[in-house]
């Protein structure tokens, strides 16, 4: 036991331990070398006790502060609803804990900036935001091709991020504006924007958006997590229950303009009837050619000037294996050892993405263009 908790071991506390995100993260942490789950926090005690037995955790609690203050914990994973991140992350920085914080990192860009500021003052602490799309070979190859000027000067970017959910899926905290930072705009929009800004090496300057809740009223089953909601929505034997309309947007169409004159369109959705796979997820159009990134088929398609489109690569597009062992823990260990870690998404990236998603939500409300610098100055 002493060896498992030696100084080199990454000793993990998980907030939101039994949720849709926290549960698979715990599976990966348990399977990682040199890491141990020490403490868990969740709101439902029945699920928490079971998780603690599986993980061999020494602390199971409904009070997140007990995890952050635990003397054996040196890395905290924050996988709670969006609105619950800020206070916990600032406390983690004060307690000098390394951090993994789910996106969107805060309820708004102001919170996201405060969280980044708290960690930017502490160079000895790792902070990782799971923008996993960066790690898929399809998108990494697209980034290389843009950097190599294979497409010439990029002019237009079109992105479709559809994450269809069962048509009868019940209400969850993601439909609740008091807990969600912006529904689909923040949930999948943050992923889409980070992917594009990472590939292009540029930030959006302004957006014009339309957003709405296009899914009908959902069954209200109380405080269930997303995994339970998905299971219920796919069940063939559902009982009728009270329904209510979600309070967050589950659809958005966004015109975006980047620095350097790049323009384009982003479409985001969780609605069941916007199905993925009909067209490439991402299109990048340049002066010398166009590139299609099709995650469903795992294909990159290149259309050079005056030539027909051709599939140039078929690469793995789903499943990254143990993400903590491959991507998160090497960053934490490098910083623990005083080394410069590999490039990775962090709280600054989380803040930049939240400037974008806040601007989209603001534009949808106002019905006009909104500049990201306006959100940053607010």
Per residue in 77-90, pLDDT (tens digit) is 999 999 999 999 99
Residue 323 DSSP code: H
What's the sign of the alpha-carbon dihedral 347, 182, 102, 65?
positive
Using CA atoms, how far apart are residues 91 and 372, in angstroms rounded to an integer? Answer: 28
Average pLDDT over residues 41-56: 94
Using CA atoms, how far apart are residues 276 and 271, in angstroms rounded to an integer? Answer: 11
H or E segment at 145? Answer: helix 137-147
What's the Cα-to-Cα distance from 115 to each of 10, 49, 234, 359, 373, rounded to whole Å? 22, 30, 37, 19, 19
The pairing of strands 204-212 and 218-219 is unpaired
- For residue 1, what pLDDT is reported? 36
- For residue 46, what pLDDT is reported? 86
- For residue 316, what pLDDT is reported? 84
Q: Is the pLDDT of residue 38 over 60?
A: yes
Contact 283, 299 (CB under 8 A): no
Using CA atoms, how far apart are residues 39 and 56, in angstroms rounded to an integer? Answer: 9
Tokens read off for 26: 């715990």
Average pLDDT over residues 312-339: 94
| Residue of higher predicted confidence among 99 and 239 | 99
Cis amide bond preceding 63, omega within 30: no
Using CA atoms, how far apart are residues 229 and 168, in angstroms rounded to an integer? Answer: 9
Contact 83, 176 (CB under 8 A): no
| Angle of the 109-120 helix axis to the 347-366 helix axis, nearest 10 | 170
Q: Is the pLDDT of residue 36 over 50?
A: yes
**What domains are there in the chain, each with its CATH number?**
10-132+321-344 (3.40.50.720), 133-318+354-377 (3.30.360.10)
Q: Is the pLDDT of residue 4 over 70?
A: no
- For residue 333, what pLDDT is reported? 97
Instruction: Give the residues across from 210 on adjacent strands.
Output: 253
Tokens read off for 19: 């949720």
Share of the chain above pLDDT 90, in %: 84
Q: Is the pLDDT of residue 69 over 70?
A: yes
- Phi and psi at residue 25, to the nearest 5°: -60, -40
326-347 per-position pLDDT tens digit: 999 999 999 999 999 999 999 9
The reported pTM is 0.94
Tokens read off for 265: 């369109």
Contact 372, 355 (CB under 8 A): yes
129-174 per-position pLDDT tens digit: 999 999 999 999 999 999 999 999 999 999 999 999 888 888 888 9
Q: What is the dihedral of CA 182, 136, 231, 219, to 10 degrees?
A: 20
| Residue of higher predicted confidence among 372 and 232 | 372
Contact 128, 328 (CB under 8 A): yes
Cis amide bond preceding 265, omega within 30: no
- For residue 236, what pLDDT is reported? 59
Give 360's pLDDT tier (boundaries 50, 70, 90): very high
Tokens read off for 273: 């009837």
What's the whole-number average pLDDT of the chain? 94
- For residue 3, what pLDDT is reported? 39
- Indicate the length of the chain as a whole number: 378
Candidate from 171-185, 213-227, 282-296 with smallest mean pLDDT: 213-227
Candidate from 36-40, 104-108, 145-149, 271-275 with smallest mean pLDDT: 271-275
The candidate with the shortest Cα–Cα distance to 12, out of 80, 126, 97, is 97
Please tell me the number of Cα atoms within 13 Å of 12 on its side-chain side.
32
- For residue 238, what pLDDT is reported? 61
Using CA atoms, how far apart are residues 320 and 317, in angstroms rounded to an integer? Answer: 8
Tokens read off for 151: 């497409």
Using CA atoms, how far apart are residues 146 and 207, in angstroms rounded to an integer? Answer: 23
């Amino acid at each position: 036991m002493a060896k498992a908790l030696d100084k080199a071991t990454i000793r993990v506390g998980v907030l939101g331990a039994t949720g849709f995100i926290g549960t698979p993260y715990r599976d990966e942490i348990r399977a990682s070398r040199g890491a141990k789950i020490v403490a868990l926090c969740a709101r439902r005690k029945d699920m928490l006790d079971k998780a603690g037995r599986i993980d061999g955790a020494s602390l199971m609690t409904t009070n997140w502060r007990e995890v952050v203050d635990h003397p054996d914990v040196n890395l905290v994973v924050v996988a709670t609803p969006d609105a619950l991140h800020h206070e916990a992350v600032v406390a983690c920085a004060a307690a000098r804990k390394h951090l993994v914080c789910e996106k969107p990192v805060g309820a708004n860009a102001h919170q996201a900036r405060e969280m980044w500021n708290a960690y930017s003052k502490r160079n000895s602490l790792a902070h990782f935001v799971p923008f996993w799309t960066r790690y898929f070979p399809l998108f990494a190859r697209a980034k290389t091709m843009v950097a190599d000027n294979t497409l010439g000067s990029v002019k237009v970017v079109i992105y479709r991020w559809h994450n269809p959910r069962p048509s009868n899926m019940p209400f969850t905290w993601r439909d609740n504006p008091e807990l969600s930072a912006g529904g689909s705009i923040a949930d999948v929009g943050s992923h889409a924007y980070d992917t594009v800004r990472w590939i292009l090496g540029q930030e959006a300057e302004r957006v014009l958006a339309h957003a709405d809740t296009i899914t009908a009223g959902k069954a209200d089953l109380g405080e269930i997590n997303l995994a339970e909601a998905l299971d219920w929505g796919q069940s063939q034997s559902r009982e009728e229950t009270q329904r209510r309309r979600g309070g967050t947007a589950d659809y958005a169409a966004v015109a975006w303009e980047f620095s350097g004159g790049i323009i384009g369109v982003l479409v985001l959705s969780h609605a069941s009837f916007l199905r993925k796979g009909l067209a490439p997820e991402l299109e990048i159009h340049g002066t010398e050619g166009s590139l299609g990134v099709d995650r469903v088929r795992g294909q990159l398609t290149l259309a050079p000037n005056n030539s027909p489109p051709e599939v140039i690569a078929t690469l793995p597009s789903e499943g990254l294996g143990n993400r903590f062992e491959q991507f998160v823990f090497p960053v934490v260990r490098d910083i623990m050892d005083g080394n410069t870690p590999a490039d990775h998404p962090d709280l600054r990236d989380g803040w930049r993405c939240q400037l974008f998603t806040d601007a989209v939500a603001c534009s949808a409300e106002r019905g006009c263009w909104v500049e990201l610098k306006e959100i940053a100055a607010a």
